[in-house]
Structure 1
């Protein structure tokens, strides 16, 4: 599979993503069974290269259009409160918003203080929406121009095991994601 780098200088915008090139149908879109694209971005835990960070672990990657929205806050709180469940399964958790890194860090500090939870997983910044566009988060059609929330479960060999899409007003369930990870892990045994 030929890989093409969308953005040649990751240090310029501190965001880069490497996806498979275009397909016969047009632009690449993520599909179950395909290798999840590698990406480099700033996170609330510093710079992160996804393949290096996630390799060898199941990873739940949940994505929001923005920090400081009710749904994104509910999701972060729920994921943080169930972090132990993911840890028991050797599963990593990664979030992403299209907010800048400083806003994300302040937001996480406020969530931690307000709700008395520790957010121990990184949240990456996709301020210029490069990653969101590559992952098909911005749905543009004659009927709507609405961002969506996506969740990917990535296998230890970096393949997409599950893809879920939600309207921005619908929170995810961390326990449902744990259930899916359990099923995926059981199927690999």
Structure 2
């Protein structure tokens, strides 16, 4: 592809209704760090997230918080990539304001999607929407390009950056150690063992829940 403008993703129709386990549609678009192709991030984790608009209160707080935690995402070998309908030059002006007013530089790419091609392909907006004002969607994509988790917030509620980090930590721990991450799991805590599928093992269990609810004992 010769032009850096957004192009239709190669493996999904518009408003695809993506699900966990799907391969993230590939695309190329202009960004604040130059032309970006999604598939070039294969080999590391990636968080792709949309924001309703530049120069809005909630989005500004999110980008300040994400920029301040950039090292924490880097330590997890996880890249960040943002997306909105705003133009590249709007992104530049907004990032300059954030730097001058709050003293932080946003260095991860922010993509322009003025025609909503990418947003519709990822199901962030519907085919009937004329803008993305109600969108605050996040895709957690693994090194193979597979969507492993998704969150969606309304425009008037900001994301939790600690929860974004916890999701990455949990997915990486599951991949590395196996098992299941329980409610409120935090790094360093034990994962749960997958339940047995063997009836004899169920009957031999020392208690009524031990066959399906027990931790692995692995505190790594």
Answer 1 or 2: higher relative contact order, Cα 8 Å, separation at least 6.
Answer: 1
- Alpha-carbon distance in structure 1 between the residues aligned to 2:135 and 2:8: 19
Question: For the pair shown, which has the larger CA radius of gyration, 1 or 2?
Answer: 2
Aligned equivalent of 2:150: 163
**1:38 counterpart (4, 15, 26):** 26
Contact (CA 8 Å) 2:15, 2:127: kept in 1 or not? no
Greater than 6 Å deviation, 4+ residue runs: none
Task: Give me the whole-angstrom Cα distance separating, in 1, the residues matched to 2:26 and 2:73.
Answer: 22
Contact 1:96 1:123 in 2 (8 A): yes
Higher strand share: 1
Q: CA deviation at 1:28?
A: 2.2
Q: Which residue in 1 is equivalent to 2:8?
A: 17
Match of 1:186 in 2: 173
Shift in Å at residue 46 of structure 1?
0.6
Which position in structure 2 is the counterpart of 1:172?
A: 159
What is the distance in 2 between the residues matched to 1:36 and 1:119?
Answer: 24
RMSD of aligned C-alpha atoms?
A: 2.1
**Residue aligned with 1:151, SS:** strand
Q: TM-score, with normalisation over the residues of structure 2?
A: 0.73
Cα distance in 1, alignment partners of residues 164 and 71 from structure 2: 13
Aligned equivalent of 1:150, options 127, 137, 140: 137
Gaps of 5+ in 1: 1-8
* Conserved 8 A contact 2:15-2:123: no
5 Å-filtered alignment, 1:65-76, equals: 65-76=52-63
Q: In structure 1, how many angstroms separate the alpha carbons of the residues matched to 2:82 and 2:133?
A: 20
- In 2, the alpha carbon distance for the partners of 1:146 and 1:90 equals 30
Aligned twin of 2:46: 59
Equivalent residues, number:
173
Q: How many Å separate the matches in 1 of 2:101 and 2:169?
A: 31
Q: Which runs of 5+ in 2 are unaligned?
A: 177-220
